[in-house]
Chain A
């Protein structure tokens, strides 16, 4: 029990630090939703090294903490929807056992951006936000692919 608590605590702290690093060095290209999402490196790794339930726990606590520290309620909604939907999609994709880590992570990246776009549509009630779909699709593939590649390396290194 104590082992599990400390493990989850360390992972949550790691995910928060990743968010903070990204906050300090933004790779911003000037489009909403296009960012690396370093914290997801921790989440995707946990999905493979631990299990989906623990990954979800760390993800939710991380979004809550980071939103409280650095953001407002709107940002919280975007983060939470993206985190929840992408983790759901990745869990299902991983269960299928026919996808590589990179593919699972790419699907996660795409669904993350899609969920945020949908929330933007609900909040703003403007169809125009769907114009961002192709950009977010490409960015989801690139960032998801990168996170997936790194997770693969981490998994191999820890084996």
Chain B
């Protein structure tokens, strides 16, 4: 590889890693889980209450102690289940084969200040 190419790839790598760091550390903890199933809103659930959520015949979610995970899924790759628990705002679990998307949302938007 040429020097210029190595520099270009290095910059790409560093910016991607930086983006990842921001995503994983800057996040506040999520308040509610929004579940989309088959491109439609299936429901929103507070993370404060423990419960098991069945989605259709294919997936089961589990909420406990402010975090959520895919407990069971019928998809072949099981990536959503292996991902384990998530708890930060903006994190998500996506089961592509069954079209289930779980997104963690915070409370209302926070502003530094409002100017009229």
Which residue numbers of A lie inside 8 Å of B, CB to CB? 28, 30-32, 72, 74, 99-100, 102-103, 106, 110, 120, 123-126, 128-129, 131, 133-135, 137-138, 141, 145
Contacts and interface: CB of A to CB of B under 8 A. Distances in A.
B98 to A, nearest CB: 10
16 contacts: A30-B79, A31-B79, A74-B96, A99-B5, A100-B1, A100-B2, A103-B1, A106-B9, A120-B96, A124-B36, A124-B101, A125-B39, A128-B94, A129-B94, A135-B20, A138-B17
Contacts of B91: 131
Contacts of B79: 28, 30-32
Contacts of A120: 96
> Which of the listed residues A120, A125, A131, A135 has the most CB atoms from chain B within 10 Å of its own CB?
A131
A126 B36 contact: yes
B92 to A, nearest CB: 5
Contacts, number: 66
Interface of B: 1-2, 5, 9, 12-13, 16-17, 19-20, 23, 36, 39, 77, 79, 82-83, 90-92, 94, 96-97, 99, 101, 103
A141 B9 CA distance: 8
Given A32-B94, A141-B13, 6 more contacts: A72-B97, A102-B5, A106-B9, A124-B36, A126-B103, A134-B16
Of A28, A30, A74, A123, most B-chain CB atoms within 10 Å: A30
B88 to A, nearest CB: 11
A103 B17 contact: no
A128 B92 contact: yes
B24 to A, nearest CB: 10
B94 to A, nearest CB: 7
A120 B99 CA distance: 10
A103 B36 contact: no
A120 to B, nearest CB: 7
Contacts of A138: 13, 16-17, 20
Contacts of B96: 32, 74, 120, 124
